[in-house]
Amino acid sequence: MDNISATIQVVPLNHYILLSAIIFTIGVVGVLIRRNAIIIFMSIELMLNAVNLLLAAFSAYSGDASGQVFVFFIMALAAAEVAIGLAIIVMVYRNTSSIDINILNRLKW
Amino acid sequence: MIDLVWLIPLFPFIGFLICGLGRNILPKAVIGTIASLAVIASFVISLGLFFQFDSATPVIIHLFDWIKVGGIDIPFSFQIDQLSILMLLIITGIGSLIHIYSTGYMSHDAGFGKFFSYLNLFIFFMLLLVLGSNYVIMFIGWEGVGLCSYLLIGFWFTNGAYADAAKKAFIMNRIGDLGFLIGVFVIISTFGSTSFSEIFPKAQSMISGDATLTLITILLFIGATGKSAQLPLFTWLPDAMAGPTPVSALIHAATMVTAGIYMIARSNILFTLSPVTMSIIAVIGLATAIIAAIIAITQTDIKKVLAYSTVSQLGYMFLGLGVGAYTGAFFHVLTHAFFKALLFLGAGSVIHAMSNEQDMRKMGGLKKKLPITFITMLMGTLAISGLPPFSGFFSKDEILAHVYEHNKILWMIGVLGAMLTAFYMFRMMFLTFWGNFRGSENQKSHLHESPISMTIPLIVLAILSVVGGFIGVPEVLGGSHWLAGYLAPVFEGSGTRMSELSLNHSTEYVLMAVSVGGVVIAIIYAYIKYIKNNHVLPVMDSEPRSALAKISYNKFYFDEFYTAIVQKPLDVLSGFFYKIIEKSGIDGLVNGLGKGSIEASNGLRLLQTGNVGFYIFAMVIGVVVILIYSFLKF
């Protein structure tokens, strides 16, 4: 454990933060500009994992394990979310023969 | 006996509770008996009181402290003196007779229990009115009888016109009551008390014509014009005939409408000290007497004739009060209670026999079919016309003698009024009881004399109408005027200030001869017109009338006048408030808020495009804005 922590601390903290921010931004932009539901889904995973990475880095730097425990919870949550999300996408595909989210514009008024 | 005074109003109140609560449970016979017994019990106590009471000063019976705030102390107490004892006798005595009569008259009515509970409640409030030892207790009774009058006029409230008549009576009485109430306030601020026993001695020391006293008396008189149906508030009384006939006899002839006269007689010292008010009362009283008599001449509804006759006779009483003949006015209250109750009950008997027909044009020739009713009503008619030795002669003559001394012109108009009275009363008798029957065959076969419960009160009242006048036979006719002597303590304060009747005997004889002669001429004229000249019937509504008859038949257009000057402007004002303030103002505000919400929502809903990308974009923008905001904040 100390070994891993030491290994993590080889890279300075700022670099982790920057990397996370970049990954998160890629995720946001992906969600905003893509229309394919699966790609949007993957972008959401990117955002989640950017946060996970940041949590693990902070945890290692501050010597507090609870950050890493959080990461495990988020992973479990993400897995559940993926199950439901993919199921929805399958149902959307069956109904519309497409996974383009702009077809789903009846969700209004 | 004087300790039992509190029982007098209590009995009718208990009767009211029993009849009111048990109106759907108890059989009619039980309700009628309980209600009648309650009033008879009060009458017995009143009689005992009458024979025992010999104090020259009023006796105050303190029941409990009621309102005691700051300097004002209003106890709940009764005042017993000659005036209230006589009123007690009238109310409970005639009340008992009318209760007995009603058990027969109302026997087929579905609202039997309700009727008797209202009647008992009325007696209770009326007794409170005359027993109260201060103006506030009097006011409770005053308002209570108004309420009962409203309930009983509108007794058959499913008929819209009757319900309207009840409302009219109530509202017109409110106008007068406001005057009375303000008068009581002025009394409190002037004398610091409402008790008669404190106010009157204080008033004794005030100078005649005092401005405050004039104000008080005018306000009290306004109250009296409402309750006692004087100009300009008299139009409710004829409409009040919508109620059952016993109600007309009890409330609108014998008792409630005389409350105004009782109140003025009770406060006589205040009025004696306000000569201006006295003149106003005399003029209003006389004007009412004449106008109502003229209207009565052309009415075709038997109860309407009697109603206008009541208004007219009340006018005579006020005329008497106005010239300071307090005893005479009260004497007329007494005799009028006898003969007018009799006439109303007789009319009720006729209406009962005619299957609820009130139009005299459809009557005629009832003399043979209703002998008891006919004889008793004839007694009443002779009494009200003022022929000696019937009771009305003595009381009316006493008033007219005082008026003569006061002002000769008023006296002449008064005698004219007496002639009109005789004319319209005999016109009513001739149309109803003489000639041929003019109703339908169905009504003819149904004609019958009323049951014994209705004829006995008629007979008793007829006897009282005949002999009632002998309690006040004036000196000039060899009497000693027992009533004047009996009431002397009540009017003591005024008596010393008013000049005594100083006519010499020959003048009095002439006055009597003139009025009796006038009355006889009027009767003969009515006889010639309605019997000799082959029953000149009042024309039907559709046929044209002469101009004067039209004015009289249409009641001088008083109702139309009030509609034009009071109701129409109020309607217009209400219309303005309804259309402008209510519709555009209040409704506009409320509806505007609703419409605004709808418009705003209509605009905002377009943001919801259904494009998921747009939603997410909006969310991200929102997050960014929040972040920037929190950065700027710290």
At residue B452, the pLDDT reads 84
Q: Any chain A CB within 8 A of the CB of B607?
A: no
B chain contacts of residue A101, beta-carbon cutoff 8 Å:
612-613
Q: What is the pLDDT at residue B473?
A: 81
- Verify that B512 and B372 share a domain, yes or no: yes
Asked if residue B491 lies in contact with residue B86, where contact means CB atoms within 8 angstroms, the answer is no
Q: Cβ B610–A35 below 8 Å, yes or no?
A: no
A24 or B437, higher pLDDT: A24
Same domain, B418 and B344: yes
CA B376 vs CA A74, B189, B347, B413, B458: distances in Å? 110, 50, 11, 29, 6
Residues 6+ apart with CB under 8 A from B435: B364, B365, B530, B531, B535
Q: A-chain residues within 8 Å CB-CB of B624?
A: none
Do B373 and B409 have their domain in common?
Answer: yes
Q: CB contact, 8 Å: B605 with chain A?
A: yes
CB contact under 8 A, A104 and B610: yes
If asked whether residues B406 and B528 sit together in one domain, one would say yes
Tell which of A25, A29, A32 to mutate to test the B interface (max B CBs under 10 Å). Answer: A32
Q: What is the pLDDT of residues B508-532, one digit of tens each?
A: 888 888 888 988 998 888 888 887 7
Q: Are residues B378 and B460 in the same domain?
A: yes
Q: What's the pLDDT at B240? A: 86
In this complex, is the C-beta atom of A109 within 8 Å of any C-beta atom belonging to chain B?
yes
Q: What is the pLDDT of residue B560?
A: 83
Q: What is the pLDDT of residues B352-406, one digit of tens each?
A: 888 778 888 888 778 888 888 899 999 999 999 888 888 888 888 888 888 888 8
Examine residue B80 and state whether it is found in any structural domain, yes or no: no
pLDDT reported for residue B219: 92
Q: Measured between CB atoms, does A31 come within 8 Å of chain B?
A: yes
Inter-chain touch B612–A32, beta carbons under 8 Å:
no
User: Locate tokens 């006919």: which residue?
Assistant: B374
Residue A109 falls inside a structural domain: no
Partner B contacted by A51 (CB < 8 A): no
Report residue B568: phi and psi, to 5°. -60, -50
B627 and A CB contact within 8 Å? no
- Number of C-beta neighbours around residue B356 at 10 A: 8
B238 phi/psi in degrees, rounded to 5? -60, -40
Mutate to test the interface with B, among A24, A29, A31, A39 (most CBs of B within 10 A): A31
Instruction: Measure the CA–CA gap between B622 and B626, rounded to whole angstroms.
Output: 6
Q: How confident is the model at residue B498 (pLDDT cuts 50, 70, 90)?
A: low
Q: How far apart are CA B336 and CA B380, in angstroms?
A: 9
In a domain, A106, yes or no: no
CA gyration radius, chain B: 30
Amino acid symbol at A13: L
Question: Of B29-43, B97-111, B274-288, which gets the smallest average pLDDT?
Answer: B97-111
CATH classification at residue A88: 1.10.287.3510
CA pair distance A86, B252, nearest whole angstrom? 92
Question: What percent of chain B shows pLDDT beyond 70?
Answer: 97
Task: Band the pLDDT of B437: cuts 50, 70, 90.
Answer: confident
Answer yes or no: do A101 and B613 touch at CB < 8 A.
Answer: yes
Whether B511 and B582 map to the same domain: the answer is no
Q: Is residue B582 part of a domain?
A: yes
Q: What is the pLDDT of residue A4?
A: 75
- Check residue A107 and give its pLDDT: 63
| Residue B193 confidence class, pLDDT cut points 50, 70, 90 | confident
Contact A104 B605 (CB under 8 A): no
Q: How many independent structural domains does chain A possess?
A: 1
3-state secondary structure (DSSP) of residue B111: coil
Q: Does residue B502 have a pLDDT over 80?
A: no
Give the domain-ending residue among B538, B572, B596: B538
Structural element, H or E, at residue A45: helix A37-62
Asked if residue A82 is part of any domain, the answer here is yes
Nearest CA in chain B to A35: B613
Q: Give the three-state DSSP class for B66.
A: strand
Model confidence pTM above 0.80: no
B10 membership: H or E segment, kind and range: helix B7-21
B522 phi/psi in degrees, rounded to 5: -60, -40
Check if A73 contacts B (Cβ < 8 Å). no
Q: Say whether both B361 and B393 belong to one domain.
A: yes
Q: What is residue A18's predicted lDDT score, i.e. its pLDDT?
A: 95
For residue B620, is it within any domain?
A: yes
The residue among B538, B568, B583 that closes a domain is B538
Q: Give mean pLDDT, residues A16-34.
A: 92
Q: Is pLDDT of A109 > 60?
A: no
Query: B516 is in which domain, residue-wise?
Result: 332-538
B377 found inside a domain: yes
Q: Are residues B514 and B583 in the same domain?
A: no
Q: Which residues in A lie closer than 8 A to residue B608 (C-beta atoms)? A: 108-109
**Which residues of A fall within a CB distance of 8 Å from B613?**
32, 35, 101-102
Taking one residue from A and the other from B, the number of pairs with CB-CB distance under 8 angstroms is 27
> Could you tell me if residue A45 is inside a domain?
yes
- Best of B611, B621, B624 to disrupt the A interface (most A CBs within 10 Å) is B611
Asked, for residue B38, whether it belongs to a domain, the answer is no
Within a 13 Å sphere around the CA of A64, how many CA atoms are in the beta-carbon half? 8
By the 8 A CB rule, do B129 and B71 touch?
no
Task: Give B625 to chain A, closest Cα distance, Å.
Answer: 15
CA of B606 to nearest chain A CA: how many angstroms apart? 8
B603 touches chain A (CB under 8 A): no
All residues of chain B having their beta carbon less than 8 Å from the beta carbon of residue A108 are 608-610
Task: Say yes or no: B352 and B421 in one domain.
Answer: yes
Q: How many domains does chain B have?
A: 2
| Closest-CA residue to B47 (of B99, B79, B5) | B5
* Pair (B517, B579) in one structural domain: no
List pLDDT tens digits, range A56-102. Answer: 999 988 888 888 899 999 999 999 999 999 999 999 889 888 888 77
Of B611, B616, B620, the CB nearest to A102: B611
pLDDT the model gives residue B467? 87
Query: pLDDT by residue (tens digit) across B557-570?
Result: 888 888 888 888 88
pLDDT bin (cut points 50, 70, 90) of residue B537 is low
Domain boundary, last residue among B538, B572, B602: B538
Alpha-carbon distance B590 to nearest alpha carbon in chain A (angstroms): 26
Residue B575 has pLDDT above 60, yes or no: yes
Residue B492, in any domain of the structure = yes
Indicate whether A105 belongs to any domain.
no
- Out of B245-259, B335-349, B493-507, which region has the weakest mean confidence (pLDDT)? B493-507
Contact B610 A106 (CB under 8 A): yes
Residues B101-146 have pLDDT tens digits of 888 888 888 888 899 999 999 999 999 999 998 899 999 999 999 9
Residue B506 confidence class, pLDDT cut points 50, 70, 90:
confident
Instruction: Write the DSSP assignment of B165-218 as a string of letters.
Output: HHHHHHHHHHHHHHHHHHHHHHHHHHHS--BHHHHHHHHHTSPTT-HHHHHHHH
Residues B482 and B518 in one domain: yes
Q: Give the confidence band of B42 by pLDDT, cuts at 50, 70, 90.
A: very high
N- to C-terminal Cα distance for chain B?
Answer: 95
Least confident of B18-22, B167-171, B350-354, B549-553: B549-553
The answer to whether position B381 is within a domain reads yes
A89 interface with B at CB cutoff 8 Å: no
- With 80 as the cut, is the pLDDT of residue B1 above it? no
Which ipTM did the prediction report? 0.75
- Tell whether B468 and B527 lie within a shared domain: yes
Q: Note down the domain range covering A80.
A: 2-100
Taking an 8 Å cut-off on Cβ atoms, the answer to whether A102 and B612 are in contact is yes
